[in-house]
Each structure stands twice: as structure tokens, then as C-alpha cells.
Amino acid sequence: MKIISKYIARGLFKNLLTILFAVVVIYVAVDFFEKIDDFMEAKIPLSIAGYFFLLRIPFVVAQVFPVGVLLSALVVIGLMAKHNEIIAYASGGGSGLSLLKPVVALGILSSLFLFMFNEMIVPATAVEANRIWYQQVRGEGGENVRKKTTWFHRQGMIGRVGRYYPETRRAKDITLNYYDQGFKLVKRIDALEGAISGTTWTLYNAMESMGGRASDSKQYPELQVEMDFTADQLHDRVKRSDEMSLPQLMEHIQKIEAEGYKATRFQVDLAAKVSFPLVCLIMSILGGAMALRGKKGEGLAVNVVLGMGLAFSYWVVHSLCISLGYAGMYSPVLAAWTANALFVVLAAVLVYELA
């Protein structure tokens, strides 16, 4: 490696660590003042509160890492331009594009690191952080409790659960619909609450109606129902994408689709898990190219502001596409890769102008 490449690489690494540290501190501080009242109301010990905010750090790092790579490239190359180091390098026969090699290397290594970090660290810390927040702070009984409806399907039956509490294996707002071979409703059971033990569901305050007719219904203070759907299977159904690694998410999608349901949201998240880490490489090239093509007289602050605007633009486009994917208006692949594709084109244009 050339001396100039080592010099740039060392600067990129130091600035990346500094930027990440500053952003993480600011984010955690804001998050702390936003949530500390909830911890105090729940009378949570300070040690647990501190542990919770510590667990939030990997998620924050994963989200701001691409921005750190972009700003690091802008700062290092921008400072070189400010100190006329690029002019001195060019006068010695060096090419401006050759200065991008260590920047691109940083982007590749950052993308690989972010992918592994999202697979190995973020899911584990997300599960524990959610457990503290939902179970101990909000008192909702478990880290994976969901307010949205969860559906599941078995032979001749379609079930719905409004909320599920993994820690206690209890569910609320339960509906079980039984159908014959002609898909005609033969029985419906509604319950306010239920406890799950193996394949036995004990339903409380249940109402059973034959053929869905209210006139032909019975009330039960307690009703036991046997079915091939356990608490562990229901737990899997309410997992969040950020709590699963790539193989776990793929397996989760297969289970949902095997039951006859669409897994659009999870398919979008799966594609995003692959596409998002590559934004580090894109941002590194964009940052380096922007700094190299900066007009004389433009200060480093101008490039940093432009870089922040660029990062914000990426988040807007990426979030919009992901939302369209969740709504089924975009395919999962398009939803996850559109923003990357647009910014790859922009990076290619900037690099071409330098050639």
C-alpha cells in the first residue's frame, strides 16, 4: 500500500470512530431524556435503565454507520483539499481517482462489517431491549407483545389473536373459526383471554356459536380447546424482523407462506437486510467524489452540509420505497434496492466527472 493510501486510510478510520462516537452519544442522550420518565414511573432501578440504553447502542450504530462513512470520506478528502495536499499529489503525477482507492476499501470493509453486525449483534440486543421496555417498563407481560392482529392457519381452522404475551404464554382477544371442506363456517369461538400449554388452549370468558349464528351460542367461563398450534409457534409469529437474523427471517417467511398467508412485510425486511449494508460502499464513493470535485473556495463545512443533505435524501427515498413495499405497491426487491440503485447512478456520475 502506498504511503498516501495509508495516510488516507488512517484518517478515514479515525474520523469514522470520532463521528460514530459523537452521533451515538447525542442519540442516546436524546433517547435517555425521552424515556427516563417512563423508567421512573415504573420504578425501574437505575442499573437496569442504564443496561437498556447500553443495549440500544448497537441499533444506533447500525443506523448511523453509513452516514459516518460518508462524513468521514468528506472530512478527510476535504481537509486534504483545504491544505493543498491534493494539488501537491497531482503535481507529482498522482491521479485524483487513485485517492478514492482507500475510500472504496473503507466502503467495502464497512459494508461487510455492517452486514455481520446486523446479523450477530443487533438481533440479540434488540430482543433484550424489547424485553426490558415492554415487560418491565410498560408492564405488558413480554418483550414481543403486539397490538396488531396475528393470524394463523391450521387444517379446517383460521385463528386470530389480538395480543400475545410470550413470558406468561397468554393471549387476549382470541377468535377461532372452524370450516368444513367446502369452506363453510361451522363453528366460531371468541374469548377475551386464553392460556396456552402445549397444544391445549384454555379460553376464559368464551362464547361458542355454531355456524356463526349468535342465536345458537353458548357462554363458557372456561373452555379448553385442543389444536395443533403451540405457544412457541405463536411466539414465532409475533417476532420483529430486527430480532431475527437472515436465516431466521427466511425460515419465518417460509412458515407463514406454508400456512397460506402472505409475508410481504417480512419479505421486504429480508431484502432490506441484504441491501442496506451496501449503502456504506455507495456513501464512501459519494463522499470521496464530492470532496474531490469541490470547487475552489468551497469550505469543508459546505461539503459536510451537502453530505448530510445527501444522507437525508437517501433515508427519505429508502423509507418511502420500504413503505410502498409494505403496502404491496412495490415488489420487495424494488422496495429494498431502489434507493441504492439511484445513488449508485449518482456516484457513477460524480466519479465519471473526475475521470
User: Is pLDDT of 337 > 80?
Assistant: yes
Query: What is the residue range of 215's domain?
Result: 150-238
Same domain, 20 and 56: yes
Please name the helix (run of DSSP H) or strand (run of DSSP E) that holds residue 151, with its range, or none. Answer: strand 150-154
Same domain, 14 and 113: yes
Res 142: pLDDT: 44
Q: Is 115 exposed, middle or buried (0-12, 13-18, 19+ CB in 10 A)?
A: middle
Residue 273 lies in a domain: yes
Res 111: pLDDT: 95
Same domain, 24 and 68: yes
Residue 251 lies in a domain: no
- Mean pLDDT is lowest, of 19-33, 62-76, 245-259, 301-315, for 245-259
- Mean pLDDT is lowest, of 132-136, 143-147, 234-238, for 143-147
The full DSSP string for 286-330 is: HHHHHHHTPPTT--HHHHHHHHHHHHHHHHHHHHHHHHHHHTTSS
CB 128, CB 55: distance < 8 Å:
yes
Beta bridge partners of residue 200, listed in sequence order: 197, 226
CB 289, CB 299: distance < 8 Å:
no
The sign of the dihedral angle between the CA atoms of 79, 343, 312, 105 is negative
Task: Please state the rounded mean pLDDT for residues 118-124.
Answer: 89
CA separation for the pair 258, 43 (Å, rounded): 44
Question: What digits encode the pLDDT tens for the residues 157-210?
Answer: 888 887 777 667 788 888 888 888 777 888 888 888 888 888 888 899 888 888
Same domain, 231 and 273: no
Residue that wins the pLDDT comparison between 353 and 175: 175
Residue 247 lies in a domain: no
Res 167: pLDDT: 64
Res 117: pLDDT: 94
- Mean pLDDT is lowest, of 144-153, 232-241, 339-348, for 144-153
Same domain, 184 and 284: no
CB 268, CB 326: distance < 8 Å:
yes
Same domain, 176 and 299: no
Residue 258 lies in a domain: no
Same domain, 288 and 336: yes
Res 153: pLDDT: 72
CA separation for the pair 282, 307 (Å, rounded): 12
User: Is pLDDT of 1 > 70?
Assistant: no
**Beta-sheet pairing, 217-226 with 170-179:** unpaired
CB 184, CB 213: distance < 8 Å:
no
The sign of the dihedral angle between the CA atoms of 246, 250, 256, 261 is positive
Same domain, 128 and 10: yes
Number of domains in the chain: 2
CA separation for the pair 175, 189 (Å, rounded): 6
User: Is pLDDT of 81 > 80?
Assistant: no
Task: Please state the rounded mean pLDDT for residues 128-135.
Answer: 80
Same domain, 15 and 99: yes
Question: What digits encode the pLDDT tens for the residues 18-49?
Answer: 989 998 898 889 888 888 888 888 888 888 98
CA separation for the pair 350, 355 (Å, rounded): 9
Res 147: pLDDT: 46
Q: What percent of the chain has pLDDT over 90?
A: 25
Query: pLDDT-based confidence at 273, cuts 50/70/90?
Result: very high
User: Is pLDDT of 295 > 90?
Assistant: no
Classified as helix, coil or strand, 125 is helix
Task: Please state the rounded mean pLDDT for residues 115-142.
Answer: 80
Q: How many CA atoms lie within 13 A of 27 on its CB side?
A: 18
Residue 112, Ramachandran bin (φ over 0: left; ψ between -120 and 50: alpha; else beta): alpha
DSSP 136: I
Same domain, 289 and 331: yes
Same domain, 162 and 123: no
User: Is pLDDT of 145 > 50?
Assistant: no
Residue 248 lies in a domain: no
Which residue is associated with the grid cell 447525542? 26
* Residues 6+ positions from 328 with CB-CB distance below 8 Å: 264
Q: What is the mean pLDDT of the chain?
A: 83
Residue 230 lies in a domain: yes
Res 61: pLDDT: 92
Res 96: pLDDT: 67
